[in-house]
Amino acid sequence: MNKYLLSLTAAAFVWTANAQQSPSLTDKDYAHAENFLGYNTEQLVDHGRVMPNWLPGDKFWYRILTSQGSEFILVDPAKKTRGQAFDHQKLAAAISTATGKTYEASKLPFRTFSFSDDLKSISFSADGKSWKCDLQSYQCTPDNAMVGQSKAHTRRRGGDDEVASPDGSQVAYIKDYNLWVRNIKTGKETQLTTDGVKDFGYATDNAGWKSSDGPIVRWSPDSKKIATFKQDQRNVGDMYLVTTNVGHPTLKAWKYPLPGDKEIAMISRVIINVDEPKVINIQVAPDPHRATLSDDIASSGTFDDVDWTADASKLAFVSTSRDHKQEKFRIADAATGAVKEVFEETVATQYESGQGTINWKYLAKTNEIIWFSERDNWGHLYLYDALTGKVKNQITKGDWAVTEILKVDEKNRQIYFLADGREPGNPYYTHLYKVGFNGKALTLLSPGDGTHQISLSPDENYFIDSYSKFDVPPVTVLRDLNGKLISNLEKTDISRLLASGWKAPIPVTVKAHDGQTDIYGVMFVPTHMDPNKKYPIINNIYPGPQGGSVGNWGFASAHGDCQALAELGFVVVKIEGTSNPLRSKSYHDMNYGHMSENTLPDQVTAMQQLAQKYPYIDINKAGIWGHSGGGFATAAAMFRFPDFFKVGISESGNHENRNYEDDWGERYIGLLTTQADGTSNYEAQANQNYAKNLKGKLMLAHGLMDDNVPPYNTLLVIEALEKANKDYDLVVFPNNAHGYGQNSYYMMRRRWDYFVKNLAGAETPKEYVLKTKADPRNSAQ
């Protein structure tokens, strides 16, 4: 009996001792990590982002945040002047007198406001009342005209589901599957089409993964015609989601084509005369719902791949094949709908028109076309003869990539464009250039080491250039179109941020899995790192091939929760692997047809190389997490590299691309086909087929109302894990869509807990609440 009690006592002592040795994190530790989230760090950045509000004559004003509050700056490029837009002290005194409350010059009481075009008055709302202040006499009076201003503005410009004409006189909208216009001045409504029906309506916006009630249209420059389409979805398969609530759930059903479906959404192109309504059918066969950017033919904010001539007599457009391998450039006669076939480009994998914008221009006056192509392995511009369809000359060339055309100067035959990789250093840094149509006189317009964000003035005579790097805060300047410096606008001050303990992330360069190709990324380490300790490493992945893990290569006070996670005792990395865009065509195509690789061989070898270079990295404790495509990659990493990755968190992953919208897989894997063994070419891409390989800890998360990546993608993985008798953890958001909304902070906390417990082996504080808050400098004071 005594021996038994002695044994129990000894065992209890050993258990207690082991428990005491296990580290524990507290609320204080989590609060420290939270200090590195954007809503805390951004308010410590002064003289940062410049958001211009343009006035007639290329003048502009902007509001800049300072350590005291904010200032309003007025810039006149023609006079080369920059100064305060008004006397802040006098305006504060005037507002204080009018309202009976005391305000400081740097803390004026408004977030929403508007200046007159001549900048002689300002209107704003404060404490539920509207005011107008004269900026010459500095007298403030109640502004009854401002009451209901937002509603008047909506009536003037059109609502969210309306598209205004160029002259501002009318808005186009959809009603009962037909296209209508409303005269903004008189309110008169006119029905333009009559034969639209459910699933076969005019201008309807539905890419499966994205939809709205607004019309997809392109008004002609004279506001007398509309280019649009009639979209046939009648035989397209449906997707279903149901709400979670007390009582009967609500069913959401919509058209959502999948890879391999016999029927996908098709568009029949039309031109509609507005004044005397008439529908002119463009005389080509229906096109797949595709564009050179994506399957969302309004992804740039308007009807993509169409371009009116200045006199509205012709409409140029590009038709994209279902698999994105063939592009046809066509020109339609706006009066008859007759079509001229100009040229076509066919590629072996997938065509893209650049990054974020449509990079072709039809120049009717000279019968020329500026066209983007990767035919020489790099994204470049070519000049075509629109009459013959032949290439006149290549405009840009070299081992670098054009990303976006900003301006075409037809008179002087020059193109202004953004490009990556031409300057020495990081190939993802963006610069502005100009070049002649003939390919001569290529000129760098944005000097300065780093990546450049460019904003052209409305009259396109000047541009604002803000450039920075991960570890170098932005400098913002104003230049003319020759690149000549007009004014230094702002130099970002991060002294308060640095005083808080913040440290910049570390840019890294390693070799890809081929041992030859340079790949780039960024690393986050604890600000109070002990170089004698070992830290688990976590990979935050978004693999592409559409985008990439890093995203913006410029300065940011926070990159999601990467630094916050590092503060909890980790090294966090974001690596841009092969098969991601913004470099060569061959680089982008490295995983074409094999999307399941997800850049994972690059991620693994990059992490191993970093561990060799930085001894404080514990490569034996490797974790990974990602959202959407990153969720797909995370599960693939846990299943395909089970001995390397120990812990993973997969959020909203498109694990089975036969269950995700048709364009994604068909663009980057190819059309679904049956192979010699009877399986499809998509079979090897499906995560559930490898779930049995799981060895580590895996958390899956999904919103049950996710209309981008339907939750059945994750449910397939869950089913496979259960059949394989594998343990997993699950977080679901019953009524949330793809991004979880406000629940994203709950997911963040769960993510922290999961890595702390399972990768670092520490205890976490119970149900810590992230205390989100806005920058007080943006709030009414």
Neighbours of 421 (CB within 10 A): 22
Ranges 85-99, 247-261, 428-442, 526-540: which has the least confidence: 85-99
Residue 532, burial from CB neighbour count under 10 angstroms (0-12, 13-18, 19+): exposed
Rounded Cα distance, 657 and 664, in Å: 8
∠ at Cα 759 (757, 760), nearest 5°?
A: 70
Q: CB within 8 A of 54, min separation 6: which ones?
A: 60, 457, 458
Decide the pairing of beta strands 645-651 and 729-733. unpaired
Rounded Cα distance, 590 and 597, in Å: 10
- The mean pLDDT value for 660-676 works out to 93
Rounded Cα distance, 332 and 335, in Å: 9
Find, among 465, 475, 476, 462, the residue nearest to 79 by Cα. 462
Q: How far is CA 757 from the centre of its chain?
A: 32
Residue 71: strand pairing partners: 64
Residue count (the chain):
781
Q: What is the DSSP code string of 332-396? A: EETTT--EEEEEEEE-SS-----SSS---EEEGGGTEEEEEE-TTSS-EEEEEETTT--EEEE--
- The mean pLDDT value for 36-45 works out to 96
Amino acid 159: pLDDT: 65
Rounded Cα distance, 416 and 356, in Å: 16
**Quick one: which H or E segment has residue 624?**
strand 617-627
pLDDT score of 20 more than 50: no
Rounded Cα distance, 455 and 433, in Å: 13
pLDDT score of 624 more than 70: yes
pLDDT score of 2 more than 90: no
pLDDT score of 774 more than 80: no
Amino acid 112: pLDDT: 72
Alpha helices per DSSP H over 85-244: 88-99, 149-157
Are 573 and 533 in contact, with CB atoms under 8 Å apart? no
At 271, give phi and psi (nearest 5°): -120, 135
Amino acid 151: pLDDT: 43
Which two three-digit tokens encode residue 739?
Answer: 């991004």
Rounded Cα distance, 162 and 215, in Å: 7
- The mean pLDDT value for 669-692 works out to 93
Amino acid (1-letter code) at residue 296: D
Q: For residue range 377-422, list pLDDT tens digits in order.
A: 999 999 999 999 999 999 999 999 999 999 999 999 999 999 999 9
Q: How far is CA 368 from the centre of its chain?
A: 32
∠ at Cα 164 (221, 329), nearest 5°?
A: 45
Amino acid 145: pLDDT: 62
Q: For residue range 547-573, list pLDDT tens digits in order.
A: 899 989 999 999 999 999 999 999 999
Q: For residue range 80-128, list pLDDT tens digits in order.
A: 999 999 999 999 999 999 988 899 988 888 767 788 888 889 988 877 7
Q: CB within 8 A of 274, min separation 6: which ones?
A: 170, 181, 190, 192, 223, 224, 225, 226
> How far lies 298's CA from each of 310, 515, 780, in Å?
21, 40, 36
- The mean pLDDT value for 606-617 works out to 98
Query: pLDDT-based confidence at 154, cuts 50/70/90?
Result: very low
Are 71 and 63 in contact, with CB atoms under 8 Å apart? yes
Amino acid 116: pLDDT: 85
pLDDT score of 213 more than 70: yes
Share of the chain above pLDDT 90, in %: 85
Which two three-digit tokens encode residue 189?
Answer: 């409504």
Considering the entire predicted model, what is its pTM?
A: 0.93
pLDDT score of 676 more than 80: yes
Amino acid 158: pLDDT: 54
Which two three-digit tokens encode residue 647?
Answer: 């812990």
Radius of gyration of the chain (CA): 29
Rounded Cα distance, 737 and 741, in Å: 8
Are 683 and 676 in contact, with CB atoms under 8 Å apart? no
**Quick one: which H or E segment has residue 178?**
strand 178-183
Amino acid 17: pLDDT: 40
Are 351 and 320 in contact, with CB atoms under 8 Å apart? yes
Amino acid 300: pLDDT: 86
Decide the pairing of beta strands 189-191 and 200-202. unpaired
Q: What value does the mean pLDDT of the chain take? A: 93
Q: CB within 8 A of 309, min separation 6: which ones?
A: 315, 316, 362, 364
Q: Which long-range contacts (CB under 8 A, 24 or more apart) does 414-418 make?
A: 415/370, 415/381, 416/445, 416/456, 416/481, 417/381, 418/452, 418/454
∠ at Cα 755 (511, 11), nearest 5°?
A: 125
Q: For residue range 418-440, list pLDDT tens digits in order.
A: 999 999 999 999 999 999 999 99
Q: For residue range 456-471, list pLDDT tens digits in order.
A: 999 999 999 999 999 9
At 604, give phi and psi (nearest 5°): -65, -50
Rounded Cα distance, 286 and 297, in Å: 14
Query: pLDDT-based confidence at 149, cuts 50/70/90?
Result: very low
- The mean pLDDT value for 248-261 works out to 97
